[in-house]
Amino acid sequence: FLLPLLAAWGPRVSGVLRAPRRRWPVPYRRFDYRPKTDPYCQARYTFCPTGSAIPVMKAEDVIEVYRLQAPVWEFKYGDLLGHLKIMHDAVGFRSSLTGKNYTMEWYELFQLGNCTFPHLRPGIAAPFWCNQGAACFYEGIDDAHWKENGTLVLVTTISGTMFNKMAQWVKYDNETGIYYETWTVQASPDKQSTVWFDSYECSKFILRTYQKLADLGAVFKKIQTNYTSIILFSGEPIYLGNETSIFGPLGNKTLAAAIRDFYSPFKPHQTVREFFVDLVRIIDRVILNHQFYLFYNLEYWFLPMKFPYVKIIYEEVPLPVGSKESFGV
């Protein structure tokens, strides 16, 4: 069940679109509505196939909240990606009044590759992006999926009133935060280094949900919680423009060609030989020539890449602190 309605193509950014100020990290933009998806964009696995509406809970209900985490594509590859700490996050709920369980998560409509890299379509000058992410809510918790190779642990208990307020927030968050952003981009591996861009993916939705519950008065248990981030390391990014200013009739043809050339090795459905040839091209551009073109908030940026270039980390992010006085269960 896709919470936001899919409206006509062409999101309007709230406010006037200008070249971004040099504020770091660049804030993730929220949009007025969700654009209609192009039929060209097809997912190998259907988004949220058993989804349902979020129920309205009775105020006196006591609802258990569970942290859910499992390796990405665990249903297909088991714990393989878990060894690389590439994990997917979700949140579970259990109603004490009805005994029903529910799962809520946020992920890509067209799988990770389409959200991370564009298609270069014949006859279309600009790279074509199949990129949206959304929340999915459905009845039940697949205990085997989350427990076998991952995590299923109680983190807090909330009232039915708090759950209903959270559901209202989820609707707003889902209607305005519509694009998946794979990469975190920062200046160095140091914990205090400058973050240029922050990712917007499944774990960030769970962290936002936990924070909302804390704001509503939830008291979280003191347990360690870790999340996966894919980080690019770069010097200060250079703003290049948007699709119109680069690829439009009055655009920069040299820059447009450079961006298309950069993305060309990242195409899907390759033979083994094509994969290794393109892998060499990627290494040449990103590592040897220190180049990366990032598409963020519908705008293009140049990243002057730095060692160690890219890293997958699995770092602790503490659960938020709630207020016992406002808990009210």
Encode pLDDT of 118-174 as tens digits.
999 998 999 999 999 999 999 999 998 898 889 999 999 999 999 999 999 999 999
Asked if residue 17 is part of any domain, the answer here is: no
- 111 within domain boundaries: yes
Instruction: Give the three-class secondary structure for 199.
Output: coil
- Dihedrals φ, ψ of 77, to 5°? -115, 5
In a domain? residue 207? yes
pLDDT at 185: 98
Question: Does 326 reside within a domain?
Answer: no
Round to whole Å and give the CA distance between 43 and 108.
9
- How far is Cα 124 from Cα 249, in angstroms, rounded to an integer? 12
Q: Output the pLDDT for position 21.
A: 56
CA distances from 18 to 27, 166, 297 (A): 13, 33, 12
Assess if residue 30 is contained within a domain. Answer: no
Domain tally for the chain? 1
Name which of 225, 114, 238 is nearest 185 in CA terms: 238
**pLDDT value, residue 68:** 97
* CA neighbor of 195 nearest in space, from 207, 206, 187, 205: 187
Please give the pLDDT value at position 260: 97
**What three-state secondary structure class fits 52?**
coil
Q: Is residue 6 part of a domain?
A: no
> In the 8-state DSSP scheme, what is residue 241?
E
Instruction: Specify which residues 134 forms β-bridges with.
Output: 107
Q: What is the pLDDT along the chain (329 residues), one digit of tens a residue?
A: 333 322 222 333 333 344 455 689 999 999 998 988 899 998 888 899 999 999 999 999 999 999 999 998 777 767 777 778 889 999 999 999 999 999 999 999 998 999 999 999 998 999 999 999 999 999 999 998 898 889 999 999 999 999 999 999 999 999 999 999 999 999 999 989 999 999 999 999 999 999 999 999 999 999 999 999 999 999 999 999 999 999 999 999 999 999 999 999 998 767 888 888 999 999 999 999 999 999 999 999 999 999 999 999 999 999 998 644 443 33
pLDDT of residue 48: 93
Residues 120 and 263: beta-carbon distance below 8 Å: yes
Burial of 257 (0-12, 13-18, 19+ CB in 10 A): exposed
In which domain, by residue range, is 239 found?
A: 62-316
Which of these, 51, 44, 38, 49, lies nearest to 6 by C-alpha position? 38
Active-site positions? 88, 202
Does any domain span residue 232? Answer: yes
Q: Bridge-partner residues for 200, per DSSP?
A: 181
- Which among 209, 198, 189, 101 has a CA at the least distance from the CA of 145? 101
Q: Tell me if 26 is assigned to some domain.
A: no
